[in-house]
């Protein structure tokens, strides 16, 4: 199939049969055929409208009803979330719920209606523009990006003011074409029959892309001039692997599409046969594939797919979307059930990884941090809230009597943090045994390496841990100073940066030298295109989303570890991203031949 036109050519790309062909970045694999539903970028174009003083109270009530309706809509969607969606979508819904309760937003709206006196719609526009100026004046890229969340919330309120809630009906068999997509929309759109999404902006490494992959919903992002080239009702064939969109496909294109579907179905059948197969390379080296989880459903799926254990069990979901902190008994039962669900395989419980960047109604996190990504989060928050940390540690210790539990500390940056938690853990173990509780004799204790300082100074605290887990999502963005959700620097955020690979190799080498196992639990561990690269660097333990486990197992079984590691020096000598990509292409070709 022909690709895009040559640089300098003005002719649009075409398929072999002549249909228009657009190209973007494939963000979530899969093929889909459907009608285009074009959604233009949200713009709050409301003309200035003043009201009579006698109408003020009625207008205030109309605004408050719209806010309440938007809040109820988000609460209803939040209640329907299950498993991994609780984390990926729930965090955004919780953030939007907090924005709906923001006194600055609501008080400003009320004042505009009273003093204008303005209509609710115009007050909403004025207040939105005021807050946009505040966001634009911020230096921090993360906080600037929160303007998108504010626009999403204001758009919901405005829709209910107009008595037309967001249109998600009649979408069955359609492909949404829009400027960008919020993570909080994805599950709802899929539930109403959307078969794929194409966006003009966005990144293949954004939260929306990660969620789309977990939903197995085809997604193509960053398509130039998308909204000018596709009209409502056009038929689209999309390929989330290649990032190509065929507009109004002709009969030969439809035959190609059906062939891809047959190939996709065949591939899924082949993957299904790998459920009971070992994760072993061609040269007979066993590679551990563990699953990331945070719910019973995730644990069940991981067990059924033959995961070697849970490499990351998130505990934040116990703390989100509630007004009180979970007590020891509730946490104990949750961790115990995870241990029982894995039937003796290791379960790695990550202690609370919560910060001001995640919505929290319990008052546990700070609400006014200027840069939450660099603030009081992870192990820092646990040490700042010792009673909360002790409750969680006691629950994990009690659950250790029911299976092979491991404890993992997030956001570690110093030796002192590791020592402080180890002391608290030992103290709580002594107290529990004195109270008559059964506690495992030894619980492996590990640290997440996601702060560059921890990676560089690993020698200074590696003697305190039994294992390590590299959180590449945060490590990459901290190392490269590039927020993966900020489109302006989206091209800079890439795990295929020479500095990233060299730091990963350093961590893995240090772990080997000290006899400390090292896993990778970030997004790249579940990307089969990255499997050979990680094997070459020396990784033998992957922790990934259950939905990608079989694909990574296939990549492992198709690889010769000795050959890959022999080629590692050339990989680490690469000077730019393209050189690394060429190494990956060559490695893939050599391993297949």
Q: Which two tokens stand for residue 520?
A: 């990778």
CA 458 to chain centroid, in Å, comes to 26
Annotated active-site residue 207? The verdict is yes
SS3 322: coil
**Separation of first and last alpha carbons in the chain:** 24
Buried b (16+ CB within 10 A) or exposed e, 141-175: bbbbbbbebbbbbbbbbbbbbeeeebeeeebeebb
User: To 5 degrees, how large is the angle CA 512–CA 517–CA 519?
Assistant: 115
By the 8 A CB rule, do 180 and 200 touch? yes
Q: Dihedrals φ, ψ of 376, to 5°? A: -85, 90
Query: Is residue 42 annotated as part of the catalytic site, yes or no?
Result: no
> In the 3-class helix/strand/coil scheme, how is 504-564 assigned residue by residue?
HHHHHHHHHHCCCCEEECCHHHHCHHHHHHHHHHCCCEEEECHHHHHHHHHHHHCCCHHHH
The CA distance from 240 to 223, in Å, is 12
Q: Are 245 and 23 contacting, i.e. CB atoms less than 8 angstroms apart?
A: yes
Local structure of 219: helix, strand or coil: strand
Residue of 96, 308, 521, 545 marked active site: 521
Retrieve residue 199's tokens.
Answer: 């966006």
- Active-site residue, from 96, 207, 303, 545: 207
Q: For residue 166, give the nearest of 180, 149, 150, 152 by alpha carbon.
A: 152
Sheet bearing 25-28, strands edge to edge: 20-23, 244-247, 235-239, 31-39, 174-178, 196-199, 219-221, 25-28
What is the residue-wise DSSP string for 447-511? Answer: EEE-SHHHHHTGGGTGGG-SEEEE-HHHHHHHHHT--TT-GGGTTT--TTSHHHHHHHHHHHHHH
Asked if 280 and 509 count as a contact pair (C-beta separation under 8 A), the reply is: no
Residue 318: both structure tokens together: 């116990």
What amino acid positions are annotated as catalytic residues?
207, 521
């Amino acid at each position: 199939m022909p690709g895009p036109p040559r640089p300098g050519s003005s002719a649009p790309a075409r398929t072999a049969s002549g249909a228009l062909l657009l190209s973007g970045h494939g963000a979530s694999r899969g093929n889909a055929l459907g009608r285009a539903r074009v959604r233009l970028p949200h713009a709050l174009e409301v003309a200035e409208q003043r009201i009579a003083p006698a109408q003020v109270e009625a207008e205030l009530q109309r605004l408050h009803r719209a806010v309440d309706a938007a809040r109820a809509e988000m609460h209803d969607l939040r209640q329907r979330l299950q498993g991994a969606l609780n984390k990926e979508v729930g965090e955004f819904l919780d953030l939007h719920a907090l924005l709906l309760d923001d006194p600055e937003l609501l008080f400003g709206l009320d004042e505009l209606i009273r003093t204008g006196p303005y209509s609710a719609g115009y007050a909403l526009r004025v207040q939105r523009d005021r807050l946009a100026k505040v966001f634009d004046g911020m230096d921090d890229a993360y906080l600037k990006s929160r303007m998108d969340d504010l626009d999403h919330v204001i758009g919901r309120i405005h829709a209910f003011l107009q008595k037309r809630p967001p249109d998600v009906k009649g979408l069955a068999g359609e492909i949404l074409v829009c400027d960008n997509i919020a993570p909080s929309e994805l599950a709802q759109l899929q539930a109403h029959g959307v078969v794929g999404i194409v966006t003009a902006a966005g990144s293949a490494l954004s939260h929306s892309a990660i969620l789309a992959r977990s939903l197995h919903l085809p997604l193509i992002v960053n398509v130039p001039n998308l909204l000018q080239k596709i009209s409502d009702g056009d038929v689209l064939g999309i390929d989330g692997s290649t990032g190509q969109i065929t507009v109004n496909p002709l009969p030969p294109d439809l035959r190609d599409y059906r062939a891809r579907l047959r190939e996709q179905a065949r591939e899924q059948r082949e993957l299904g046969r790998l459920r009971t197969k070992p994760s072993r390379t061609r040269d007979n080296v066993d590679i551990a594939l563990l699953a990331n989880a945070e719910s019973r459903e995730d644990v069940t799926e991981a067990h059924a797919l033959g995961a070697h254990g849970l490499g990351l069990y998130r505990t934040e979901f116990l703390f989100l979307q509630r007004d009180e902190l979970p007590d020891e008994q509730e946490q104990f039962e949750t961790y115990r059930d995870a241990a029982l669900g894995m039937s003796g395989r290791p379960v790695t419980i990550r202690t609370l990884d919560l910060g001001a960047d995640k919505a929290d109604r319990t008052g546990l996190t700070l609400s006014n941090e200027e840069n939450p990504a660099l603030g009081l989060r992870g192990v820092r928050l646990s040490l700042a809230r010792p009673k909360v940390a002790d409750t969680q540690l006691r629950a994990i210790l009690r659950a250790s009597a029911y299976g092979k539990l491991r404890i993992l500390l997030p956001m570690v940056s110093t030796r002192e943090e590791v020592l402080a938690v180890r002391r608290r853990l030992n103290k709580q173990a002594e107290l529990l045994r004195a109270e008559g509780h059964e506690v495992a004799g030894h619980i492996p204790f590990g640290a997440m390496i996601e702060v560059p300082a921890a990676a560089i100074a690993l020698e200074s605290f590696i003697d305190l841990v039994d294992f390590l887990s590299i959180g590449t999502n945060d490590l990459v963005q901290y190392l490269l100073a590039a927020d993966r959700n900020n489109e302006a620097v989206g091209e800079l955020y890439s795990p295929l940066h020479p500095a990233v690979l060299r730091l990963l190799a350093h961590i893995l080498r240090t772990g080997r030298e000290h006899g400390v196992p090292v896993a990778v639990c970030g997004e790249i561990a579940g990307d089969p295109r990255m499997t050979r690269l990680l094997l070459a660097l020396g990784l033998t333990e992957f922790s990934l989303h259950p939905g990608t486990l079989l694909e990574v197992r296939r990549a492992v079984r198709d690889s010769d570890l000795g050959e890959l590691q022999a080629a590692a020096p050339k990989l680490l000598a690469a000077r730019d991203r393209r050189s690394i990509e060429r190494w990956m292409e060559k490695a893939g070709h050599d391993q297949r031949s």
